Amino acid sequence: MSPVGETTGGERELPSAEAARRRTFAIISHPDAGKTTLTEKFLLYAGAVAEAGAVKARGNRRRATSDWMAMEQERGISVTSTVLQFSYRDHVVNLLDTPGHRDFSEDTYRVLAAADAAIMVLDVAKGVEAQTLKLFEVCRARSMPVLTFLNKCDRPGKDPLALLDEIEDQIGLRPTPVTWPVGVLGDFRGVVDRRSGEMVRFSRTAHGARVAVEERLDAAQAAREEGDAWAQAVEEVGLLDAVGADFEEKSFLAGETSPVFVGSALTNFGVRHLLDAVVDHAPAPGPRPDAEGRERGLDAAFSGFVFKIQSNMDPAHRDHLAFVRVCSGRFERGMTVSHEPSGRPFTTKYATSVFGAERDTIDVAYPGDVVGLVNASDLRIGDTLYAEGPVRFPPIPSFAPELFAQARPSDTGRHKQFRRGLEQLEQEGVVQVLYDPDGDRSPVLAAVGRMQFEVFSYRLAHEFGASVELSPTPHTLARRTDEATAAELRRTGSRVRILVRRDGALLALFESPYWLARLQSDHPDWCLEPVLEEMAGSSS
């Protein structure tokens, strides 16, 4: 995907003017709800691909060039994430991909830290699924505006009104439908656009490879031509009107209500309405608060933060790629910026777009854009880069780990490789690494999902030539603690383990929530803070 340049005419716009025409968002969904299909259809509607099918083709090529991604192929999962940039209606759209599997929700959290809005895709036959909920929690923690797409309306599914209740009850987000289906699911004819009262009737194209043909029908014509299907849609829309489920910009931007669009990514029905809504309603990048809560204006000198690190994507070039979200100013390739926290200068000669292993040079970027910096081995997740006046953006906090395993090299002769891999994979956030300050010197890996351990072992073996023996520990939850409480906890016996994170934080690991609850009720003065609170508290 070649990067989209500046406004036409070659004139240099103010960064705030460039930011105003940008939309940076992510799609969240349970696996199989249709995220990949929808992404591809966005590209089709934006004219970035002539025919749907290109993303899959790229996907295959991408996999073929990376041994790491061979694991994705073997397991049929998406571990990596990428960024697509395309232009649509004189806007620049940045679509940040998130890994679908729940075990990588920590990675998703980091990607969402770089997005300004999200689209939640639900399969109408399945409704709200486990992963949708988990990912939505991340959006809620950031008060992020969320648009909802009810996908697969071409197939039989749940009653759409019941789905709205499900969204409200399970997610706690008030749905406000903008479009509504005409025709029962399975015989999906088109949508009512509640803004105009018109029906938009769609016709399929072969394999959904090209945009769907759209006809606009006024109410009288729709009643004549669509009969019962139209009558039912009108009745349902009447119910929505009666409860006042109308789109409202302010509560949408506050993350309290969600505009709902219906359609089918497979047949392209309703895709245009959704993409238009991203441009019309999703927020443009705004000034971001720094770690002290001061806003860095969009027209201030360049600044951005690292939200993701990926290494060794291309085995031929053992490289290290940092994904940087631009927050202010104009980024120009080759400029020298400062690195926070080290304060050292950092040159940006090798700046690229970040669509999987495919790289195109990026020359300029503006707030909302994502720049990939190659061979950025000194950069860590959460670091800031800036030009001129110094700034530090808030850290991207870690998820509370729920799984723990003691890690030892299987071959002690390869200890050096083991150390190097451990350090690298921790830096990328593949797993968290904890150490016992007093006892066993071998590290304890901490993760949110089991598959993170698998990725760790696989990459350690394939990229660093060191195999690892992982012994799960019986712990299931962690709390932040301090020295005084840690000393008390050590006295309580072996059911609690005290470990140290690289940033010096002390974590107490517990085997069961009951034991923790008992200690908390017996010793209310002890410091045992949920790690998740930290996540919500420091979101920007």
> Residue numbers of the site for ligand G4P (CB under 6 A)?
29, 31-37, 100, 151-152, 154-155, 264-266
Query: What is d(CA 441, CA 408) in angstroms, rounded to the nearest whole number?
Result: 10
Min. distance of Cβ 261 from ligand G4P in angstroms? Answer: 12
How far apart CA 317 and CA 29 sit, in angstroms, is 33
Select 151 or 338, whichever has its Cβ closest to ligand G4P.
151
- Quick one: which H or E segment has residue 356? none
β-pair partners for 171:
none
Toward ligand G4P, which CB reaches closer, 32 or 511? Answer: 32
| Smallest distance from ligand G4P to CB 40, Å | 8
Angle subtended at Cα 30 by Cα 86 and Cα 83, rounded to the nearest 5 degrees: 25
Tokens of 392: 């530090």
AA letter at 276: D
Q: Which is nearer to ligand G4P, 85 or 268 (CB)?
A: 268
Q: Helix (H) and strand (E) counts for the chain? A: 15, 30
Written as one letter, the residue type at 379 is L
**Least distance between ligand G4P and beta carbon 145 (Å):** 21
Tell me if 65 sits within 8 A of 357, measured CB to CB. Answer: yes
* Minimum distance of ligand G4P from residue 121's CB (angstroms): 7
Which residue's CB is nearer to ligand G4P, number 37 or number 417? 37
Q: Which residues of 280-304 are buried (b: 16+ CB within 10 A; e: fewer)?
A: ebbbbbbbbebeeeeebbbebbbbb
How many Cβ atoms sit within 10 Å of the Cβ of residue 410? 13
Q: Which is nearer to ligand G4P, 135 or 337 (CB)?
A: 135
Cβ at position 124, least distance to ligand G4P in Å: 9
In the bound complex, what is the minimum distance in angstroms from residue 76's beta carbon to ligand G4P?
10
- Shortest spacing between CB 368 and ligand G4P, in angstroms: 24
The nearer residue to ligand G4P, 52 or 535, going by C-beta atoms, is 52
Integer Cα distance of 418 and 423 in angstroms: 9
Q: How far is the CB of 31 from ligand G4P (least distance, A)?
A: 4
99 vs 177 by CB, closer to ligand G4P: 99
Shortest distance, CB of residue 191 to ligand G4P, whole angstroms?
14
Cα atoms found within 13 Å of the Cα of residue 60, Cβ hemisphere only: 4
Order of all β-strands in the sheet with 190-193 = 179-182, 190-193, 198-203, 213-217
Q: 55 or 387: whose CB is closer to ligand G4P?
A: 55
Dihedral of CA 455/461/462/465: which sign?
positive
**For ligand G4P, which is the closer residue by CB, 212 or 434?**
212
Closest CA to 393 of 299, 324, 320, 309: 324
Parallel, antiparallel or unpaired: strands 364-365 and 303-311:
unpaired
Nearest to residue 381, comparing CAs of 399, 397, 358, 401? 397
